Amino acid sequence: MLSKEQGECRSRRRCDTGHMASSLSLFDADVPPGFEHREDFITDAAEQHLLDAITEVTFSEFELRGVVARRRVAFFGQSYDEAVSGPLPAFLAPLRAALGDWAGIEPDAFAMALINEYRPGTPIGWHRDAPQYGIVAGVSLASSCRMKFRPYRPAGAVNATRRSATHEVVLRPRSAYLLKGEARQAYEHHIPPVTELRYSITFRTLRQAARSGAPEPR
């Protein structure tokens, strides 16, 4: 049951944190089961506050399997592989709390945060987030992009036929998404090259096996 304060916040359609608590979900979106999306999840002012804070963030190159990606990244919090990263910046705390409220989890369950910088012409290739992570939540800033999905196929799978995207959604500035369930486990996604500077802020939970150090189930 909502408290009086929460009810008033929802009736105003936005909270003091800049979270538009009652924003409508995107209807008729062509997305896999388990993918949730909300337009205008944060206000214009909240977006500008985040963009201003990001100007003070130190980004680094991101290398995966020996290939340096065109996007730049900044990691914070706890990684499943215990990679060294800084503590969560204070300016990300309200956004993490708002996303936790939407996802129905405690904010600190989002153990790590990632800020991606996409300069014009920058894509992100087909991938599925590491299986040690659980729920993935993201917010788009500054400009739009397309997010495409296709069924996930493990490396070395026998069926090597070329695959095409089966689902697609536009992620506009200030929108947010949750990636869980089938969309998280059974699909991979990618973002084609953007045409304008874009930032994304992504939060991830850690699965219990990753938290405890136990081997990941296969």
Q: Is residue 206's pLDDT more than 60?
A: yes
Q: What predicted TM-score, i.e. pTM, was given to this entire model?
A: 0.80
Angle at 136 between CA 135 and CA 139, to 5 degrees: 145
pLDDT, residue 57, reads 96
Confidence grade of residue 61 (pLDDT, cut at 50, 70, 90):
confident
Residue 75: both structure tokens together: 């990691």
> Between 151 and 84, whose confidence is greater?
151
74 close to 84: Cβ distance less than 8 angstroms: no
CA torsion sign, 105 to 84 to 124 to 56? positive
What average pLDDT is seen over the chain? 82
* Size (the chain), residues: 218
pLDDT, mean of residues 186-205:
96
CA–CA separation, 172 vs 195, rounded Å? 13
pLDDT at residue 67, as a whole number:
61
Does residue 162 carry a pLDDT above 80? no
Task: Pick 154 or 91 by higher pLDDT.
Answer: 91
For the chain, the domains span 16-212
Q: What is the mean pLDDT of residues 187-198?
A: 96
Flag whether pLDDT at 103 surpasses 70: yes
Domain 16-212 bears CATH identifier 2.60.120.590: yes
Q: Which of 65-79, 85-99, 112-126 has the lowest mean pLDDT?
A: 65-79
Q: How many Cβ atoms sit within 10 Å of the Cβ of residue 32? A: 19
